[in-house]
Chains A and B, each alone.
Chain A
Amino acid sequence: MGTPELAASPLLGQPLVTDEDAVRSRDRARVHDARHHRRRWRLLWLLVGPGILAMLGENDGPSMIAYASDGAQYGLGFFVPFIPVLFAMSYVCQEMCMRIGAVTHRGYGELVLQRYGRAWGLFGAADLTLTNLVTLVAEFIAIRVGLAYFHLGPGVAVALGLALVLFTLSGGRYWRWERIVLGLALFNVLFVVAAVLVKPDAGALVSAFDFARFPSGSFNTLLLLLASTIGATVTPWMIFFQQSASADKGMTPADVAHGRYDTALGAVLAAACGIGALVAGAALLTHGGSGIQGFAGAGFPEALRRVAGGGAGAVFALGLIEAGAVAILTISASTAYAAGECVGVTHSFNSSPRDAAIFHAANVGVALLAGAVILIPGAPLLSIALNANVLATVLLPVSLLLMLMLANDKPLMGRWVNRRSTNIVGIAVVAFVAVCGAAYGIDSFLQTAHLIGS
Chain B
Amino acid sequence: MSAVEQSDPRCPEEREEDDLVMNLERDQFVAETSKPVPRAELSAAVKTGLWALRVFVVVVGAMVIYTFVAGLH
CA–CA, A356 and B36, complex, Å = 19
Among B18, B67, B70, the residue within 8 A (CB) of A10 is B18
Instruction: For B38, list chain A residues within 8 Å (CB).
Output: 114-115, 411
Do B17 and A9 touch (CB < 8 A)? yes
Among B21, B42, B56, B66, the residue within 8 A (CB) of A17 is B21
Q: Does B25 contact A (CB under 8 A)?
A: yes
Instruction: For B30, list chain A residues within 8 Å (CB).
Output: 1, 3, 18, 20-21, 346
Instruction: For B70, list chain A residues within 8 Å (CB).
Output: 448
Among A22, A104, A127, the residue within 8 A (CB) of B20 is A22
Do B20 and A445 touch (CB < 8 A)? no
- Interfacial residues, chain A to chain B (CB-CB below 8 A): 1, 3, 7, 9-11, 14-18, 20-22, 24-26, 28-29, 32, 104-106, 110-111, 114-117, 120, 123, 127, 247, 250, 252, 346, 380, 383, 387, 390-391, 394-395, 397-398, 401, 405, 409, 411-412, 434, 437-438, 441-442, 444-445, 448-449
Do B34 and A380 touch (CB < 8 A)? no
Do B66 and A448 touch (CB < 8 A)? yes
Do A123 and B50 touch (CB < 8 A)? no
Do B66 and A438 touch (CB < 8 A)? no
**Chain A nearest Cβ from B41, distance in angstroms:** 9
Among A25, A114, A127, A390, the residue within 8 A (CB) of B23 is A25
CA–CA, A442 and B66, complex, Å = 11
CA–CA, A198 and B26, complex, Å = 54
CA–CA, A110 and B39, complex, Å = 12
Do B29 and A16 touch (CB < 8 A)? yes
Q: Does B4 contact A (CB under 8 A)?
A: no
CA–CA, A110 and B53, complex, Å = 20
Q: Taking A1-B30, A105-B33, A120-B50 as contacts, is the C-beta distance between A11 and B72 under 8 angstroms?
A: no
Q: What are 30 pairs between A and B in contact, CB < 8 Å?
A: A9-B21, A10-B17, A15-B32, A17-B17, A18-B30, A21-B30, A25-B23, A26-B23, A105-B27, A114-B36, A114-B37, A114-B38, A115-B39, A117-B39, A120-B50, A123-B57, A250-B24, A250-B28, A252-B25, A387-B64, A390-B64, A391-B64, A394-B64, A441-B61, A441-B64, A441-B67, A442-B63, A445-B63, A448-B66, A448-B70
Q: Taking A398-B53, A437-B60, A445-B66 as contacts, is the C-beta distance between A10 and B27 under 8 angstroms?
A: no
Given A29-B19, A105-B33, 4 other A-B residues pairs in contact with their CB atoms under 8 A: A21-B30, A26-B23, A114-B38, A441-B64
CA–CA, A120 and B42, complex, Å = 14
Do A444 and B18 touch (CB < 8 A)? no
CA–CA, A125 and B10, complex, Å = 46
CA–CA, A161 and B13, complex, Å = 41
Q: Does B14 contact A (CB under 8 A)?
A: yes
Look across to chain B and name the residue whose beta carbon is closest to the beta carbon of A3: B30
Look across to chain A and name the residue whose beta carbon is closest to the beta carbon of B32: A15
Closest A-B pairs by Cβ, 6 of them: A1-B34, A445-B63, A25-B20, A15-B29, A25-B23, A28-B23
Look across to chain B and name the residue whose beta carbon is closest to the beta carbon of A446: B63
**Chain B nearest Cβ from A223, distance in angstroms:** 12
Look across to chain B and name the residue whose beta carbon is closest to the beta carbon of A117: B39
Instruction: For A438, list chain B residues within 8 Å (CB).
Output: 56, 60
**Chain B nearest Cβ from A7, distance in angstroms:** 6
Do A18 and B31 touch (CB < 8 A)? yes
Q: Taking A397-B53, A441-B67 as contacts, is the C-beta distance between A3 and B18 under 8 angstroms?
A: no
**Chain B nearest Cβ from A451, distance in angstroms:** 11
Do B60 and A401 touch (CB < 8 A)? no
Do A380 and B72 touch (CB < 8 A)? yes
Do A448 and B29 touch (CB < 8 A)? no
Look across to chain B and name the residue whose beta carbon is closest to the beta carbon of A24: B24
Among A1, A9, A116, the residue within 8 A (CB) of B40 is A116
Q: Taking A3-B30, A380-B72 as contacts, is the C-beta distance between A29 and B23 under 8 angstroms?
A: yes
Among A7, A106, A387, the residue within 8 A (CB) of B37 is A106
Flag B43-69 by CB within 8 Å of A: 1 or 0 each.
Answer: 000100010010011001101101110
Instruction: For B50, list chain A residues within 8 Å (CB).
Output: 116, 120
Instruction: For A412, list chain B residues within 8 Å (CB).
Output: 37
Instruction: For A437, list chain B residues within 8 Å (CB).
Output: 60
Look across to chain B and name the residue whose beta carbon is closest to the beta carbon of A391: B64
